[in-house]
Amino acid sequence: MKKEVTSKIKRIDTEVDKLRIKRKDTDTLKVKENVFDEPTLKTLYTLSNKKIIEAIGGSISTGKEANIFLAEDEEKDIAVKIYRISSSNFNSMEEYILGDPRFRNVRHSKRDIIFAWTKKEQRNLVRAKDAGIHVPEPIVAERNILVMEFMGENGTPYPQLKGYRLGKENAEKVFNIIINYVDLLYNKANLVHGDLSEYNILMIPEKDEPVFIDMGQSVTREHPRSIDFLRRDIENIVRYFKKYKIIADPQEIYTSIRNKEKKNEENDL
Ligand SMILES: Nc1ncnc2c1ncn2[C@@H]1O[C@H](COP(=O)(O)OP(=O)(O)OP(=O)(O)O)[C@@H](O)[C@H]1O
Ligand SMILES: [Mg+2]
């Protein structure tokens, strides 16, 4: 990214304007307005004043609830995930938040749910990282904006597992790392990813190393649906790796992960 604009706030405005100039179709305009509404711009200014974001650059992804942008702080590239306040499907968020004991005191207004969701993603990433799972390191969560480590090189994000070509000999290795991460998440971080698939795993090229992302919806084991989510996560991974001729029984993996939980509980007695 170039750094010729001196004022940081101006820089953000310019980049936001550029988004409008680049793509003039009405759909993108709508996206732009939905993402950079007044409160979000204010939060970006706050982050800029705190020197957390120096400049905001191009769009990396437009998802169902959030947009991801490449940005930079004073030293390096960072990733900025902005949950859209206006178009977020917060009804589906509510289900995840309500069953989570960490969010008992969250008020139920749409904004508050989105802010809690953003904080939840940050906390989930911290817990995952502490349990030894490779995830983007969260930097700051401020209202609906999560700033985190940029997982990529020279401004290009690492590819998703989905579009990544794995050699057959490494497929099994990567599969095992992923299953081990699911196990560590459950038994060490007390978390279930909840949306694990080939889309929410990035691959570091050459090293063939998986990185888990997108943990806003991850729930603790106490969540009434955590067991369903765990089963689904495992099934998604097993299904995806069939194309590499890896045959695994999701039920067996599930049981082995749950049995460790029971052992841990016995040791606690
Ligand atoms: N920290 C990061 N570094 C680099 N790229 C990232 C980072 N986080 C997300 N991305 C990119 O943005 C995409 C979307 O991210 P993420 O899955 O977190 O957002 P989302 O809006 O919840 O997605 P969706 O609604 O599509 O599931 C990722 O697939 C990845 O390509
Ligand atoms: Mg995603």
Last residue of a domain, one of 107, 125, 156: 156
Ligand 2 centroid vs 170 CA: distance in angstroms? Answer: 24
| Domains: count for the chain | 2
User: Is 195 known to be catalytic?
Assistant: yes
Ligand 1 atom showing the smallest separation from residue 151 Cα: 3
Which residue range forms the structural domain that includes residue 197? Answer: 158-268
Query: Residue 180: pLDDT above 50?
Result: yes
pLDDT digits (tens, 9 = 90+) for 41-71: 889 989 999 999 999 888 999 988 999 999 9
Query: Residue 240: pLDDT above 90?
Result: yes
Ligand 1 centroid vs 70 CA: distance in angstroms? Answer: 11
Q: Whose CA is nearest to atom 27 of ligand 1?
A: 63
Residue 175 lies in a domain: yes
Q: CA torsion sign, 237 to 238 to 240 to 243?
A: positive
Per-residue model confidence (pLDDT) at position 6: 38
Residues 110, 197, single domain; the answer is no
Render 74-108 in DSSP notation, one character per residue.
SSSEEEEEEE-TTT--HHHHHHHHHT-GGGTT---
Q: Whose CA is nearest to atom 18 of ligand 1?
A: 214
User: Is 214 known to be catalytic?
Assistant: yes
Residues 138, 165, single domain; the answer is no
- What's the CATH number where 21 sits? 3.30.200.20
- What's the CATH number where 257 sits? 1.10.510.10
Residue 174 lies in a domain: yes
Residues 105, 189, single domain; the answer is no
Residue 239 lies in a domain: yes
Per-residue model confidence (pLDDT) at position 249: 98
